[in-house]
């Protein structure tokens, strides 16, 4: 059986409905993970939960220690990760409230510690298909069985943050082929691949990306859409187990 972890993002700092929690603080050669690793039981199945921005939501996207997070999960024997992420919607099918299981990534981040392959051995991973096909399929099946509408596929554009994008940046990203924009998808996905961990993303659209609506993007709007979106993600995760 898979050893599954969930990395919770904005709006999912803590797991609801869990039956037991056993916490461990793991130190890694790359530093301290964003939160304690929580061994929880959900629907009778054990999984590990990690809060990407910290349980008190104090770590901005560009300061997340992605290497420590992935290393710690690997240390605990995790072989599959569902990353839950808040995103902005760029294309028509990704309006606020929609959930996507993306199948591609474009990385616009910079200056992050993004690899375990830092020499002296030179290694290049295959990243043609950044997300694990098998786990994506399981998430899509889980969504269908829990009657939660999700978009199958789409390209996640990972930006540096913490500021939101300009309208011109979003226009360029759309021309590049991005459907959604978020700040944490990279280097999380490629670090997982470097460790051989099967990784898929469940992305919740919290707002129209910059320039895609006439309204200013507010934290209130983001929080509100995430609240309902995360309830639906919870249903998918329950079905996945
Ligand atoms: N841009 C980047 N990240 C995000 C957004 C956005 O519009 N909304 C939620 N996360």
User: Would you list the DSSP string of 87-155?
Assistant: EEE-SGGG-TT-EEE--EEEE---SS---S--SSS------SS-S-HHHHHHHHHHHHHTT---EE--E
Q: Output the CA 35–ligand 1 centroid distance in Å.
A: 22
CB-CB contact of 153 with 203 (8 Å): no
**Ligand 1 centroid, distance to 222 Cα (angstroms):** 9
Tell the residue nearest (CA) to atom 9 of ligand 1. 87
Q: Ligand 1 centre from 238 Cα, in Å? A: 25
Ligand 1 centroid from CA 196, angstroms? 28
Answer whether 17's CB lies under 8 Å from 234's CB.
yes
CA of 87 to the centre of ligand 1 (A): 4
Is 57 within 8 Å of 8 (Cβ atoms)?
no
Ligand 1, closest atom to CA 165?
1
Q: What is the pLDDT of residues 77-92, one digit of tens each?
A: 999 999 999 999 999 9
Name the residue at shortest CA distance from atom 6 of ligand 1. Answer: 88
Minimum CA distance residue for ligand 1 atom 5: 88
- Ligand 1, atom 7: closest residue by C-alpha: 88
Full-model pTM: 0.96
Q: What percent of the chain has pLDDT over 90?
A: 87
Among 167, 170, 183, name the best residue to mutate to test ligand 1's pocket (greatest count of ligand atoms within 8 A of Cβ): 183
Q: What is the pLDDT along the chain (241 residues), one digit of tens a residue?
A: 689 999 998 877 777 777 778 999 999 999 999 999 999 988 788 999 999 999 899 999 999 999 999 999 999 999 999 999 999 999 999 999 999 999 999 999 999 999 999 999 999 999 999 999 999 999 999 999 999 999 999 999 999 999 999 999 999 999 999 999 999 999 999 999 999 999 999 999 999 999 999 999 999 999 999 988 998 999 999 899 8
Q: Which domains does the chain have, with CATH numbers?
A: 4-240 (3.40.50.1580)
Ligand 1 center to 204 CA (angstroms)? 10
Ligand 1 cavity residues, CB under 6 Å: 86-88, 159, 164-165, 181-183, 206-207, 209, 222
């Amino acid at each position: 059986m898979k050893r599954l972890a969930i990395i919770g993002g904005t709006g999912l700092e803590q797991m609801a409905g869990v039956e037991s929690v056993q916490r461990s603080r793991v130190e890694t050669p790359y530093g301290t993970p964003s939160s304690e690793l929580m061994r929880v039981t959900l629907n009778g199945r054990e999984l590990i939960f990690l809060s990407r921005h910290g349980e008190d939501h104090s770590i901005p996207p560009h300061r997340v220690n992605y290497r420590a997070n992935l290393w710690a999960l690997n240390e605990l024997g995790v072989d599959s990760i569902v990353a839950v992420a808040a995103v902005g919607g760029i294309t028509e099918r990704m309006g606020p409230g929609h959930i996507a299981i993306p199948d591609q990534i474009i990385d616009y981040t910079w200056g992050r510690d993004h690899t375990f392959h830092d020499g002296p051995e030179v290694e290049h991973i295959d990243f043609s298909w950044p997300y694990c096909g098998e786990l994506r399929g399981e998430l899509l099946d889980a969504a269908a069985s829990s009657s939660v509408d999700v978009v199958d596929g789409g390209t996640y554009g990972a930006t540096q943050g913490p500021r939101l994008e300009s309208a011109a940046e979003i226009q360029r990203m759309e021309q590049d082929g991005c459907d959604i924009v978020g700040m944490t998808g990279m280097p999380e996905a490629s670090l997982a691949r470097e460790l051989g961990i099967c990784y898929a993303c469940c992305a919740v659209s919290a707002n129209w990306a910059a320039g895609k609506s006439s309204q200013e993007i507010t934290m209130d709007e983001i929080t509100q859409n995430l609240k309902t979106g995360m309830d639906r993600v919870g249903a998918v995760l329950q079905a996945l187990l």
